Chains A and B, each alone.
Chain A
Amino acid sequence: MADFPHLSRRGFLNRSAAVGGLLVVPGVLSACSKTDSGAATGEGALDKLRKQGFVRVAYANEAPYGYMEGKELKGEAPTLHREIFKALGVDELKPTLSEWDGLIPGLQAGKYDVVSAGMAITPERCANALFSEPEFISPTAMMVRKGNPRKITDLASAKAAGVTVGVMSGAVEASYAKGAGIAEGKIKTLQKPQDGADAVKGGRIDAFLLTGISLRWLARTNPETEVTEAFVPELDGTKQFSPGGAVFRQGNEDLRDSFNRELKKIVADRSRYVELLGEYGFGATEIPPATLKTADLCKG
C-alpha cells in the first residue's frame, strides 16, 4: 500500500518530463526516455529546491554523524550538506528525525530529499538507493591510557608489545586484530563503547579498537584516555576503508551528481575539510582518497 502514492508520483514525474521535452526541444525526448526520469527530474529537483529555498534532510540522531543539539542540526553529514547545498544555491536544511530503519523507506516515499546520517556505502545497499561519493572513510584507531604508556601506535606494535586489546562484540575489529596476529587470549570482547573506555581506564585492557571517529567522540567524555592516529586496517590483504556518504532517491541522479561536484571541492581541500568537521572528530585521516569511488564500492 505504502508504495502506491510513490508510484503515482513517479508516473506523474515521468509524464511531465516527457511533456517538458516535447515543448522545449523535441530532440531531448529520446534522451529522456533512455535515462528514465533521471534527466528531467534531477535538474528539475535542484531547481525546485533553489526556488523553495530549502532541502529536506533526514537524520537518525546519531552523534557524531547527524544529531540535534538544542535546536541546531549538527554532525558530520549536516555540516557538509549545509556547505554543499549553500554552494548549489539552496540556503536551508529542513531536518526530519527518523528511526534508523525508517531512513530509506522515508526517502523512497519522498518525505525528504537526502539522508544526512553518514550511512556506510556497501554493495548490498547500492542496489536500492543512490549513494553520493564517499564523504569520509572510517579508519581504525586505538583508545589508550593518557600518555600512551605502552607506546602502541598500530596493530603491529600492539602485537609486539604483547598487550591486551578490546573490541566490541560482533564488530569487525576482532578480525583485524586476529588478522594482525594478536592471540585470541589477548582479545577481550566488550558490549558497549563506554565499556571499552572503562576497561582502558581500569587497566583491564591496554588498547580499545574501534573507528577513530567513534573513539575521538568517546574520548571527549573520557579525559583519562587518548586516541592514537587512525590507520586503514587490512583484511585478507585488502584495505578496509569503510566509507560513508549521503543517500538520494533512485531517479534523482542529477541532484546527486550536483552534490558530488561540490563534495569533491571540499574533500580536495584538506584544511577546509578538517576545519568543517574537526569538531566532530573527523580529521585528515578520515578524508576519502580521490581514487575511492562509489561506483567501485558498489561493485564490491
Chain B
Amino acid sequence: MNQSFNWEAAREALPLLLEGFRVTLLATALGTLVAAVLGLAVAVAGRAPSRLVTVPVKAVAEFVRSTPLLVQLVGAAAVFSSVEPLVVGIVVLGIHYAAYTSEVYRAGIDGVPQGQWEACRALSMSPRRTWQAVILPQAVRNVLPALGNYAISMFKETPFLAVITVQEMVFEARKYGADHFVYTEVFTLAGLIFLVASYPTSLLMRKLEKRLGH
C-alpha cells in the first residue's frame, strides 16, 4: 500500500504539476504587478493633502489587511461568479498584497530625507515632478528587497487560488490525488517545486539587499 514512496505515481503526476506551476507563476507575476502598482498608488494617495482622500484609502487598506486572504478570495469569487476564476484570483491577490506593499512604499517615502522635499520646493518643482524625479526613485530603490519578499510570500500563497477552482499546481495535485487516491507523493512533489523555486529567489533578494546597502 502506501508504505513506500510511489515513484511511478510521482513520475506520472509531475507533468501535470508543472502544467499547474505555469499558472502559479502567471498568477504570481501578474498579482505582483497589481500589488506593486496599486500599492504605490495607495501610498501616494495616503499622503494626499485632503482627508477626503486619505481617510477612505486608509480605511480600505486596513480592511483588506485585517481580513483573511481566503475569505476575500471566496467572497470575490462568489460575487464575480461570471468572471474567469484566474482573473478574480489575480486581482484579489494583487489587492490583498497592495495593502501591505503600500506600507512598504510609505516607509520608503518616509525614508527620503526632508531636505529633498525642501530642495524640490526651493526649485519650485511641480508636485508631479517632485514625486517622479526625486522622491519615488529614491523611495522605490530603498524598498525593492522588501517588495521582493512580498512577491515570494505571494508566490507561496497562490495555493489558496485552488479553492476558487484556479487550476494552479496545488489544484492539479489535489485532482491527481482524488483521481488516483495518491496524495503523499503529489503533495511532496508540489512542496519540493515550491522550495526549488522560492529558495533561490529569496537568496537573490538577500543579495539585492546587500548590494543596495541595507
Contacts and interface: CB of A to CB of B under 8 A. Distances in A.
Nearest to B175: A101
B43 to A, nearest CB: 37
Interface string A171-183: 0000000000000
Interface string B159-178: 00000000000000010011
Contacts, number: 38
From B1, B3, B178, B182, residue with most partner A Cβ within 10 Å: B1
A122 B182 CA distance: 13
A104 interface: yes
Given A108-B1, A191-B81, A101 B179 contact: no
Nearest to A1: B184
Nearest to A11: B3
A42 to B, nearest CB: 15
Given A105-B184, A191-B81, A128 B179 contact: no
A128 B182 contact: yes
A80 B3 CA distance: 31
Contacts of A128: 1-2, 180-182
Given A105-B183, A191-B81, A3 B3 contact: yes
A244 B17 CA distance: 27
A221 B49 CA distance: 55
A101 B183 contact: yes
Interface size, B (range):
10 to 19
A250 interface: yes
Contacts of A101: 174, 177-178, 183
Given A2-B184, A7-B3, A108-B1, A122 B177 contact: no
A129 B182 CA distance: 10
Nearest to B182: A128
Nearest to B2: A108
Interface string A232-262: 0000000000000000001100000000000
Contacts of A105: 183-184
A191 B3 CA distance: 39
Interface string B181-206: 11110000000000000000000000
Interface string A88-132: 000000000000110011001000000000000010110111000
Nearest to A191: B81
Q: Which 3 pairs show the lowest CB-CB distances between chains A and B?
A: A128-B181, A124-B180, A104-B181
Given A7-B3, A128-B180, 4 more contacts: A101-B183, A104-B177, A122-B179, A127-B180
19 contacts: A3-B2, A3-B3, A6-B2, A6-B3, A10-B3, A101-B177, A101-B178, A104-B177, A104-B183, A108-B1, A122-B179, A125-B180, A127-B180, A127-B181, A128-B1, A128-B2, A128-B182, A129-B181, A191-B81
